[in-house]
Amino acid sequence: MSEFIFKKMILRRRFCKRVIVVGIVFIASFYGSVLLFGNFKGPQIMQITNLDRCPACYGVTVCPELYSNQIILDSTHWSSMFNVRNIFYGYTKSNRRVVLKKLAHDWEFREFDEKICKLMNLSESCNVKALLNISNIDQKVIDIVQYNLSWPDTEPRKGIVLCPYAYSIYDLLHPLLNNRNGNYKSEMINIWTMLNINPEPILLQVLPKTKGWPVPAYGGVCGRLEVVAYEGESLSALTHIPWLKKLKYAQKIISAAMDFTFKHDKFRFYLMDWSLDNIVANEKDEVSFVDLEDVVILDKNISPKKDLPDWYQRYSREVLGPGFTFSIENMCRHHLSDHNIWAACYVLAGDENPFLYPIPKVINDTRPHFDRLLHSCLNGDDKFRTAGKLQHVIEDMLLDEKVIALGAIR
């Protein structure tokens, strides 16, 4: 009996000790963060731009606005203190909401910084300023986006792939390099850095929202921070909205897939990260694609050499396995691929949390072909034709009084 009580006492004492240790660790980390970030309100702009890493940074276009407090961090977001994804929120002096994105995790920056000197063939532990003296920056930029069709990657590939020939990079970067009258070399080092870490700021300038692309309005960059307009909430958080609203978003998602494939006069943009987290919608029901880290860009006007015997054939996605799989190699070997269309239909009607399902019974009763079309967009042969038909049916439904009357049905 007394042994039992003794054991119990030891256990209780151990438990108390653990509670005290956890408490101390929590308080220490809390005050540590406060010390680190300066006050109770979370990080300050200065601490997140990492301007000291320039020219191995994204650029400095929006620094004046950030440093003169025209863009203010919203420090009421407690989450920003323990923010692993490195996404911060803020607002402008005119009260427009903005998102401040570092575009990588801290460990990714550390990894990049550790290998920067080696990548640029400079001495070990070089100073980043030494990058300004290198002579082969154009080749370095080409090497990063190149996809070797003779020895295609077996590992998953991140960032931009520019294919079939990487020298198209000059055409792609035209809107960036010609807009400014800055220093060519430091701008190319910025581009090289973005291509290494996250090419999103490049894409937002090549596909500006002002020209109708379904992407966030681009504010600029400062050090290792990108500023974009807040474009609404992720569709993954909007699964409870009325079905009619979902249908409106679906219409925009399908037209975005068509736009990324056809709208640019030189390139196709095959998005590689289609998930409801990366698609947001705002109060005006505009839909934007917010995560442009992984994109295969195809130059559609090249003259195919012998290495591209099937260039003029269309590539239709084969069944490569369950879920979201694709072949960069095949996309790069053909002048047109149905990847974006298939991916759009996959987020709407595929295996993982399909956005449009369940379809309300009334719709299935009156328009059974709608469900069939969604499935043939996933598995059928001519997905472009199916997408055209789908657009037609959706347009029709959105004009139909009886469907509109469904307004509140979820």
Ligand X SMILES: Nc1ncnc2c1ncn2[C@@H]1O[C@H](COP(=O)(O)OP(=O)(O)O)[C@@H](O)[C@H]1O
| Interface residue list for ligand X (CB under 6 A) | 85, 87, 99, 216, 228, 230-232, 234, 277-278, 280, 290-291, 293
Residue number with CB closer to Mg ion (146 or 275): 275
Q: Is 278:355 a contact under the CB 8 Å cutoff?
A: no
Cα–Cα distance, 86 to 330 (Å, whole number): 34
With CB cut-offs between 5 and 8 Å by kind, which of ligand X, Mg ion, none does residue 226 bind?
none
- Which residue is it, tokens 């705002």? 282
Q: Which of 168, 193, 251, 278 binds Mg ion (CB under 5 A)?
A: 278
Helical H segments across 178-326, by residue range: 184-197, 200-206, 243-262
Give min distance, CB of 234 to ligand X, in A: 4
Strand order from edge to edge, sheet including 233-234: 233-234, 279-281, 287-289
Residue number with CB closer to ligand X (103 or 403): 103
- Nearby residues of 341 by Cβ (< 8 Å), 6 or more positions away: 254, 257, 258, 261, 377, 383, 384, 386, 387
Residue number with CB closer to Mg ion (294 or 299): 294
With CB cut-offs between 5 and 8 Å by kind, which of Mg ion, ligand X, none does residue 230 bind?
ligand X
Positions of E strands within 21-116: 71-73, 87-92, 97-101
Pairing between strand 287-289 and 336-337?
unpaired
- Nearby residues of 377 by Cβ (< 8 Å), 6 or more positions away: 341, 342, 344, 345, 349, 383, 386, 387, 390
With CB cut-offs between 5 and 8 Å by kind, which of ligand X, Mg ion, none does residue 42 bind?
none
- Which residue is it, tokens 């009763």? 365
**Can residue 294 be called a binding residue for Mg ion (CB under 5 A)?**
no
Give min distance, CB of 99 to ligand X, in A: 4
- Residue 271 bridge partners (DSSP): 295
Give min distance, CB of 343 to ligand X, in A: 16
Residue number with CB closer to Mg ion (192 or 270): 270
**Contact letters for Mg ion, residues 62-81 (x by CB under 5 A):** --------------------
Residue number with CB closer to ligand X (292 or 332): 292
Residue number with CB closer to ligand X (73 or 394): 73
Residue number with CB closer to ligand X (55 or 216): 216
Q: Which of 200, 226, 231, 291 binds Mg ion (CB under 5 A)?
A: 291
Per CB under 5 A, the segment of 66-74, 290-298, 313-321, 380-388 that binds Mg ion is: 290-298
Give min distance, CB of 336 to Mg ion, in A: 27
Nearest position to ligand X, beta carbon: 291
Cα–Cα distance, 386 to 344 (Å, whole number): 12
Taking only Cα atoms into account, the Rg of the chain, rounded to an integer number of angstroms, comes to: 25
Residues in contact with Mg ion, counted by CB under 5 A, come to a total of 2
**φ/ψ of residue 203, rounded to 5:** -65, -35
